[in-house]
Amino acid sequence: MDMKRQKVIRLTLSYLVLLAMCIIVLYPLAWIIGSSFNPGQSLSGSSIFPKHPTLAHYAELFNTNKINYLHWYFNSLKISIFTMIFTVILVSLTAYSFSRFRFVGRKNGLTGFLLLQMIPNFAALIAIYVLATLTGLLDTHIGLICIYVGGQIPMNTWLMKGYLDTIPKELDESAKIDGAGNFRIFFQIVMPLAKPIIAVIALFSFIAPFGDFIIASIMLRSDSNYTLAVGLYDLVANKFGAEFTTFAAGSVLIALPIAILFLCFQRYFVSGLTAGGTKG
């Protein structure tokens, strides 16, 4: 009877902890969604379940005569997609080199990548601004993409290298016996087996620039080049006064591309979990 009681207590405590964590995570999200449907522009009277819900704030976002929200959305998508593509390509090549080859400086290179992750992005803002000014990349999307891609390489290289190390090298040796070169092994053998970690890196490298504000606010100067984060901040801080409910509506729509991308890559996440339990 004591054992049964202890089991019930442990199970109850586990559910209480899970419930508390769900409330902590979901309450802010539910509140911002409710605020986006709340009439008026103030958040003081907003609630999760507004008494008189309205879609006026969402309609206002698509009014190009007043807000460049669609243009900001396109800019964010463009920057995030190109960052994702270049990050996946460069990280795949770099991680494959560190995983499969032995060369001078390999260990120091990996250590350097690890040390780079210890420096927060905002610590290099002055250097980024000066470098962008000297190279003429200030207020350009190309400069922002270069910064994001460079920042994604170190940590993601560590992640992918760890996964590639679990792929048996005997597959490479068998392919070499059959006459395959390194590039053919990379594209036809290693990369197909690394789809789960590629999906993870693609998702991470898309999310980071899509929601970034600090670096984008330093690099971008003109309204036509703003990303969503910078544009929505400018909407509240400078242009139209305290339009917080419109800001809430714009924030809700930011989650759509990330949710779609996650759903597209979900099957690779699941296969990655199962593969991780069987590979030695």
- Containing structural domain, residue 224: 59-276
- Report the percentage of the chain scoring pLDDT > 70: 91
SS3 13: helix
Say how many domains are in the chain.
Answer: 1
Q: What is the mean pLDDT of residues 233-256?
A: 77
Worst-scoring range by mean pLDDT, 78-82, 117-121, 231-235?
117-121
167, part of any domain = yes
Residue 72 pLDDT level (bands cut at 50, 70, 90)? very high
85, part of any domain = yes
Convert 108-159 into a string of H (helix), E (strand) and C (coil): HHHHHHHHHCCCCHHHHHHHHHHHHHHHCCCCCHHHHHHHHHHHHHHHHHHH
Average pLDDT, the chain: 83
Q: Are 268 and 63 in contact (CB under 8 A)?
A: no
**Domain harbouring 123, CATH code:** 1.10.3720.10
**Model pTM score:** 0.83
Q: What is the pLDDT of residue 110?
A: 84
CA atoms within 13 A on the CB side of 76: 30
43, part of any domain = no
34, part of any domain = no
Which residue has 């019930």 as its token pair?
8
Of 226, 68, 211, the closest CA to residue 140 belongs to: 226
* Amino acid symbol at 2: D
The alpha carbon of 131 is separated from its chain's Cα centroid by a whole number of angstroms, namely 24
- Report the percentage of the chain scoring pLDDT > 90: 21
Q: Are 144 and 216 in contact (CB under 8 A)?
A: yes
50, part of any domain = no
Distances (CA, A) of 139 to 11, 94, 179, 220, 227: 55, 29, 49, 4, 11
164, part of any domain = yes
Residue 82 pLDDT level (bands cut at 50, 70, 90)? very high
37, part of any domain = no
Q: What is the mean pLDDT of residues 37-62?
A: 75
User: Is residue 6 over pLDDT 90?
Assistant: no
20, part of any domain = no
